[in-house]
Amino acid sequence: MKKLLALCFSLFAISFAIAPVFDAQKAFSLLEDQVDMGPRYPGSPGQIICRDWIVALCNEHADTVIVQEFQAYRPDNQTYIRSYNIIARFSPELKNRVMLSAHWDTRPISDMDILHYNTPVPGANDGASGTAVLLETLRHIKHMDLNIGLDIAFWDAEDMGIAGSGAYFCQGSEFYAYNPILPKPKKGILIDMIGDYDLSLPIEGNSMKYAPKLVQEVYAIGQKLGYGHIYKQKIGPEIFDDHIPLNTIADIPTIDLIDFSYEYQGRNLWHTPRDLPKYCSPQSLKAIGDVLIFWLKSQ
């Protein structure tokens, strides 16, 4: 009996050690903080406020923080605007490293709402959700005793493109892909639009094309942690997102966790002024954060 109890306590200690510690409410407050800054598209006052806020939070936890400045093109008014990728690095000297990333900018126009076309998108889900999850994950890294290096990247100028095409989208990740920070990560996970209260993550088609083993790895963790209703074992549509330049230019096998269906009571919220925190959920953020933390520990 004593041996059995000792074994039970050992198993409990092991499971506790690897149990996710992601704080859903903390992550949601980080989402709300971003929306309170106003729109964060390149050239907006909110862009600079949010940039400095992300950099400050990264500096609290990372070994080093790199800001990549570049000129992004905004096709709707044909201007070039200063934009900023932010990369928080842990153990930057290690060659064996991975990447987590999301975009932090918001769309300058509401092209899916013709009555409010020129209204900037608040970006609670499309921008703030992925950033919030990474920032909440960031504060746990030092306590995880990882044996790998880690880059946590926040892409700018992801959402300035021409609707219906891939033109001028994902400018920040493309800039990084041509100018990677060395040592380069060996694989990565991108998260985008993962705050939806009714989160559903079928396997994104390009992810399966470029990094099938990583897809299987991450989705198995989702199932193991009890999120099988979210991490769907079926192939979804192919999305042009920040993982495309990472895969095709930087040669970093990267998957995209994305819920491209974003609506409430049958009404679309994506690329509209209705992309607000009230349509997002702390539990959706946790379903992502738990899996990311578990995945990092498994590396």
pLDDT(9) > 70: no
pTM, rounded to two decimals: 0.93
The mean pLDDT of 7-28, rounded to a whole number, is 61
Neighbours of 235 (CB within 10 A): 14
The structural architecture, per CATH, of the domain 21-298 is 3-Layer(aba) Sandwich (3.40)
Structure tokens at 189: 């996970």
Environment class of 196 (CB within 10 Å of its CB; exposed 0-12, middle 13-18, buried 19+)? buried
Copy the structure tokens of residue 27: 């992550």
Q: Locate the domains of the chain by residue range.
A: 21-298
Q: What percent of the chain has pLDDT over 70?
A: 93
Alpha helix stretches (DSSP H) within 63-170: 130-138
Phi, psi (degrees; rounded to nearest 5) at 152: -110, 115
C-alpha–C-alpha distance, residues 42 and 190, integer Å: 21
pLDDT exceeds cutoff 70 at 26: yes
Q: pLDDT digits over 127-157, tens only?
A: 999 999 999 999 999 999 999 999 999 999 9
* Residue 229 structure tokens: 């209703």
The pLDDT score that the predictor gives to residue 164 is: 81
Q: For helices 130-138 and 282-298, what crossing angle results, to 10°? A: 50
Strand pairing class (254-258; 231-235):
unpaired
Q: What is the predicted pLDDT for the residue at 206? A: 98
Collapse the DSSP code of 20 into the 3-class scheme (helix H, G, I; strand E, B; otherwise coil) and give the result.
coil
- Per-residue pLDDT at 3: 39
C-alpha distances (whole Å) from 54 to each of 8, 103, 136, 176 are: 42, 12, 11, 18
Q: Does 20 score more than 90 pLDDT?
A: no
Residues 264-282: what's their mean pLDDT?
97
